[in-house]
Amino acid sequence: METLVNIQNLTKKYGSVVALDNISINLPQGRIIGLLGPNGSGKTTLIKLMNGLLQPSSGEIFIGGEPVGLETKAMVSYLPDRNYLNNGDRVKNVLNQFERFYEDFDRDKAEEMLDSLQISSKMKLKSMSKGTKEKMQLALVMSRQAKIYILDEPIAGVDPAARDFILRTIMDHRHPGATVLISTHLIADIEPVLDDAIFLQYGRILLANTVQNIRSEKGKSVDEVFREVFRC
Amino acid sequence: MLGKVLGLDMKACAKMFLPMYLIAAVLTGLAKLTMILFQHNDNTLVSLSIGLTMVLYGVTIFALVILPMVFMVIYFYRHFLTDQGYLTFTLPVKTSTLVVSQQINGIIWTILSVVVLCAALFGMFGNYIIDSWSDIKEMFRGIFFFAPQALAEVFGNKVNGLTRILVISMLVLEVLFLYSSLYASMALGQLYTKHKILGSVIAYIAIRIAVSILNSVASFVLFYVNSVNVYLAYQVVEQIFLGVFCVGITIYILKNKLNLD
């Protein structure tokens, strides 16, 4: 499998706290990868580093052969674990902004997805519920023909029906051949869609393998292995 | 790309500035109307309403002077250093383009606010100080003549065309430096894991103290040169250097030390 993301000896420290401790891993192209770990394991830090929102203390990340920067931002479609849109904007303005800045943004697809969510382009974001805003962000992110989708906790804090919608949206709308990296600690919900799993703990990679191999080697589901590994 | 980013910034800031301009126009009109209608009326209630509209007008003038800076600081902070920064910094746009756009955006809205401020002042007091457009022309001539003249007299020099150009350049560059120093302070402040706003305030005070010391030393030395134009030329060069330096710091930090935690 061709490597899309190459992470080499990556360390991130916040003062004396080590959030990521010398991790190295390659993420292949076209796979759905679960970045799994309990809170504080370093998932969000790794994702922010891949998006250039934090700078590493040492080590390097290459996406599509390029170091994180202007070129990689055009390849990555990122869903953060928070609302990054301006609440004062209307949906139409946000669509215009994505269309203006992302060459790979498919506006028709975005409008179709928003229609299915009954989100009108005239609506103001501040009139939407938190859940609707999250779905709208997901629709925007999945409407890009990106090389990699990096989704930080997309199913955290939502009801089971919304989880189904989110996972269906990701599976149905990802660009063919793209990699999807999903961070979560809700393994049971996403296990059926995963190709690979990476377990993170205290900023270190505990396990990185295909879901099939994990199941056959351990004789358990990924969710059961996760519960066993991270038992308090 | 700069055009795209600037368009986005201008549009976003218009939501803050245009309502302020509208309020300024309405309150200036109201204050003027109240004054015309009731200026010879001694009724207590009428006097109170004149007083109230005058206070509101005064607040408007004050707001037109102060708020452009406040709005630009809020916009920079929200756009770069809060959750919105997660979108701003993942757009495929160079950090330098984002920062330069903020500079241009700040300068444009400040110039527009000065124009609205002048309109509000002329709208209210115009008939007391001017009778015709030629008077307005005279007034501007006065502004651009007397300020350089006063400065030239300190040095015992006579004012000339170069002095006026340098004074105007200095005023415009002061706006550039104001925003670049504010943005650099916020970029420095975000380096702190906690107390980012306090860090920004401390950084701004430190920059201003450093500039004041530099200015004091330069003024002391240049006073002996005894030329107003040399003094002003130094100020212009200093403003350009400091403005560019602060823009450079902001770009460097946001590109290499961004800390959106």
Report the number of distinct structural domains present in chain A: 1
Facing residues of A196 across strands? A33, A210
Lowest-confidence pick of A137-151, B58-72, B161-175: B161-175
From the list B78, B84, B94, the residue facing A70 with the nearest CB is B94
- pLDDT tier at B129 (50, 70, 90 boundaries)? low
Q: What are phi and psi of B198, to 5 degrees?
A: -60, -40
Interface test with B, best of A94, A97, A141 (most B CBs within 10 A): A97
Distance from CA of B202 to the nearest CA of A (A): 20
pLDDT number for residue A67 = 95
The answer to whether residues B180 and B250 touch, using CB atoms and an 8 Å cutoff, is yes
Q: What are phi and psi of B190, to 5 degrees?
A: -70, -10
For range B95-110, the mean pLDDT: 93
Lowest-confidence pick of A164-168, A211-215, B210-214: A164-168
Distance from CA of B178 to the nearest CA of A (A): 26
Lowest-confidence pick of A67-81, B23-37, B98-112, B137-151: B137-151
Instruction: Flag if A73 and B91 touch (Cβ within 8 Å).
Output: yes
Q: Does A51 contact B at CB distance below 8 Å? A: yes
Residue B130 has pLDDT above 60, yes or no: no
The answer to whether residues A74 and B92 touch, using CB atoms and an 8 Å cutoff, is yes
Question: Could you report the per-residue pLDDT of A193-204, keeping only the tens digit for each?
Answer: 899 999 999 999
pLDDT number for residue B22 = 94
Could you tell me the residue range of the domain that residue A48 belongs to? Answer: 3-229
The CA-atom distances, in angstroms, between A231 and each of A35, A42, A194, A204, B117 are: 18, 17, 22, 17, 65
Residue B98 has pLDDT above 90, yes or no: yes
What is the CATH classification number for the domain harbouring A142? 3.40.50.300
CA distance B243 to B201: 18
Report which of B108, B139, B111 is spatially closest to residue B125, judged by C-alpha positions.
Answer: B139
Question: Could you report the per-residue pLDDT of A135-193, keeping only the tens digit for each?
Answer: 899 999 999 999 999 999 888 877 788 788 888 888 888 888 899 999 988 888 888 88
Pairing state of beta strands A204-210 and A196-201?
antiparallel
Instruction: Flag if A80 and B83 touch (Cβ within 8 Å).
Output: yes
